[in-house]
Amino acid sequence: MPYTPIHIVISILLTVLLRSSSTLVIDFWSGLSLVLGSTLMDMDQLLAFFVYEEEPYSTCRGFLVRRELRKLLKYIEKNHKRIDKLFLHNYLSFFLVTLTSSLTIKMASVSALFLFGMFIHMILDLFDDLYVINSYSNWLWFLRRFTSFDKSSKVTLFMTLVNILSIAVLMMALIS
C-alpha cells in the first residue's frame, strides 16, 4: 500500500503512452481497467490482515477494526516488507498473470488491460524487492511449506532472469 500512488501514476502514464504510440485501440474504459488492475493488486494485503493470526497481520487487523487508519498506514509504511504472505504477490500469481496477459493483450479488451496492469504492478514490486531487500523470498512464501527455502543469491538470480524473460514475452506479444 505505501507504493499505491506510484502504481497509479505509472499505470496512467503507461496508458497514455500506449494510446499514443501503439496499434492497440485503448478507449477510456480500457485505460481505466489498466489503472485499476495495477492499483487493486494491493488489496490482497487487506485480505491477509484477516486471514493470518501472526504479526504483523494481527496488528494491522487491530488498526482496521478500531478504524485507526492513520496508525495503520504508518505501520504499513514501516513494516510493509514484513507483510509477505500475499495472495497475489507471489510467483504462482505472477506466472498466471504473465501467461494470460501475453495471450490476451492484443485484444486490448478491458480484461486484457486489467491483467496487463496487474503485470506492471508485479514487475515494479519485484524490482523494488530486489533493490530494497535483495531477495524475492516474499514472492516464494508458498514454497516454504514444501522445501527448505533459503534466500540464496542463486534463487534471486534465477527469479531475476524469470522476470526479464516474462517482460520479453509480454513485449513480444505487444509488438507482434
Q: What CA–CA distances, in Å, run from 46 to 110, 115, 160, 174?
A: 25, 20, 27, 32
**Residues above pLDDT 90, as percent of the chain:** 26
- How far apart are alpha carbons 107 and 153 in whole angstroms? 38
Number of domains the chain contains: 1
Structural domain containing residue 142: 4-175
The predicted pLDDT at position 1 comes to: 58
- The region that residue 31 occupies, defined by phi over 0 for left and psi between -120 and 50 for alpha, beta otherwise, is alpha
Tell me: the pLDDT tens digits for 37-90?
999 998 998 999 999 999 999 999 999 999 999 999 999 989 988 888 888 888
Q: Hey, what amino acid is at 53?
A: E
The predicted pLDDT at position 21 comes to: 73
Reply yes or no on whether the pLDDT at 20 is more than 90.
Answer: no
Q: Hey, what amino acid is at 121?
A: H
* 91: nearest Cα among 64, 54, 65, 123: 123
**All three cell numbers of 157:** 538470480
Neighbours of 124 (CB within 10 A): 17
Tell me: the pLDDT tens digits for 26-37?
788 888 999 999
Cβ contact 173:102 at 8 Å: yes
- How far apart are alpha carbons 169 and 109 in whole angstroms? 19
The predicted pLDDT at position 70 comes to: 95
Total-model pTM: 0.78
